[in-house]
Amino acid sequence: MARVKLDLPQSFAFSTPIEIGIGLINYGGHLGNDSALTLVHEARLRFLASFGFNELDIEGRGLIQADAVLVYKAQVHWGDVLIAEVTVDDFNKYGCDFYYRFRQRDTGRDVLHAKTGLVFFDYAARRTVSVPPSFIVAMGAVAPQGENA
């Protein structure tokens, strides 16, 4: 079976602890695959909030997810505290990629790597729109140099 490969950036601009609640655990006793995207979403919301942004209104534009990649590295259980790290890269006219690394706080072991492609979206007009200037400025401080388009 061919495995998906995901190359993560060298550094991450943001980190936050996230405790795993029982609602994220499946019948196998570990983090459910659907819950992995919930963790990614939580980390992204916290990252955006650290800049004063939210997913529905960045200069009147919202964000919509275009794709997602999840690579599981180890099991996660109820009560685990993860360190979620987030950064952005690969900008284009309409959006960029968000990269995530989740590690167990106590051991430092990687448990989940992820990437989501986000594009800016005008929900009223139901169409993609260009990246807002304030987002480009804010993310310029965290995106690798030379990667912004």
Question: In angstroms, rounded to a whole number, what is the distance separating the alpha carbons of residues 37 and 123?
Answer: 22
- Whether residue 85 contacts residue 114, with contact meaning beta carbons closer than 8 Å, is answered with no
Name the architecture of domain 14-140.
Answer: Roll (3.10)
Q: Where are the domains of the chain?
A: 14-140
CA angle centred on 56, ends 51 and 60, rounded to 5°: 85
Structure tokens at 66: 């275009």
Please write the tens of the pLDDT for every residue from 9-67: 999 999 999 999 999 999 999 999 999 999 999 999 999 999 999 999 999 999 999 99
CA distances from 31 to 67, 76, 77, 98 (A): 21, 5, 6, 21
Residue 147 — very low, low, confident or very high, per pLDDT cuts 50/70/90? very low
Position 140 confidence tier, pLDDT thresholds 50, 70, 90: confident
Q: Are 83 and 102 in contact (CB under 8 A)?
A: yes
Q: How far is CA 1 from CA 5, 73, 113, in A?
A: 12, 16, 19
117-129 pLDDT, tens per residue?
999 999 999 999 9
Q: What is the mean pLDDT of the chain?
A: 93
What's this model's pTM, rounded to 2 decimal places? 0.91
